[in-house]
Amino acid sequence: MTALRKADRKKMSGYQDTGGNGMKELRGYQGTAGGRMKELGGHIKGEVWKMRHTLLPWMHVLIPLIGIGIFLLYFSFAAWSDEGKVSGYIQALSTALPLVISAVCSISVETEESGHFQTFLGTAVYRENPLFAKWIFLSGMGLGSVILAVTVFAAGYGMMTGRTVLSPRNSLILAVILWLGSGCTYLVHLFLNLAFSKTVSLCAGTAELLVSALFLTGLGEGRWQFFPCSWSGRWSGYLLLYWKGDGMISAEYLIKSLKICVMVIIIVWGIILWWFHFYEGKKRYD
């Protein structure tokens, strides 16, 4: 690191000499919660500017609308009950999420790669902030997309049949549950794209799609809690059963499952953040 580089970082960090013994006191920007949050906010704004001219905003609008159109067309003549149609749509939505997330993360990381990962490697005082910002931005867009997918489907189905299957309040709750279940999947695919390539991420997303579909059946019992890709489908399914008045799922089972999910989240986040602390870019594999 050059002397100029050291001086610049010293100025940004807000260090000042406190005495003749060379000891320094941390003041101002670096080392404060406010400074960390201010930098994080700047990185989030940067994500908005970088991604606004990519396919990502369009993907988060067009993919839900196309899916809604296909399912409403099919449900217009399918001989299913209202509950079965809603459950089938939510299951399809939850199983498609890992593959869509892998594609979204691939596009986002490709943008960073074209800039030689300067945001990750050269501009941040707090090393983890760029990764947090990208995760917040992508998962935030994902929340909006899932809310669109659930609420517009519920409204469209109500107009098509004249029957209300999901109230606006329940639609919003269901969308949030689907989104919360996918939060860890975003981080996993950011890691796969940063450490390896988009091919690895897309292959993993395809595998996760199959796993999440299989784990909605009895094959997932006792296993689904350890696979983040299956959380959206399982938790949303349990919520639909609760609204339906099905008391087969015990509170003890749900609490135990939630504890396992939290444990998995802590382990995944801990490992990836530890790895990212030493991240220095990647070679091209594609």
Q: Give yes or no for residue 154 having a pLDDT over 70.
A: yes
Q: Is the pLDDT of residue 245 over 70?
A: yes
Q: How far apart are CA 215 and CA 156, in angstroms?
A: 29
pLDDT in tens, 85-144: 999 999 999 999 999 999 999 998 888 777 666 766 666 667 788 888 899 999 999 999
- Note the residue count of the chain: 286
Range with top average pLDDT, 37-51, 86-100, 159-173: 86-100
- pTM as predicted: 0.82
Q: Is residue 95 within 8 Å of 152, Cβ to Cβ?
A: no
According to the 3-state scheme, what is the secondary structure of 10-64?
HHHHCEEECCCCCCEEECCCCCCHHHHHHHHHHHHHHHHHHHCCCCHHHHHHHHH
* Interval 52-65: pLDDT, tens: 888 888 999 999 99
Q: pLDDT tens digits, residue range 205-214?
A: 999 999 999 9
Give residue limits of the domains in the chain. 33-220+232-277
Structure tokens that stand for 49 in this block: 């500017």
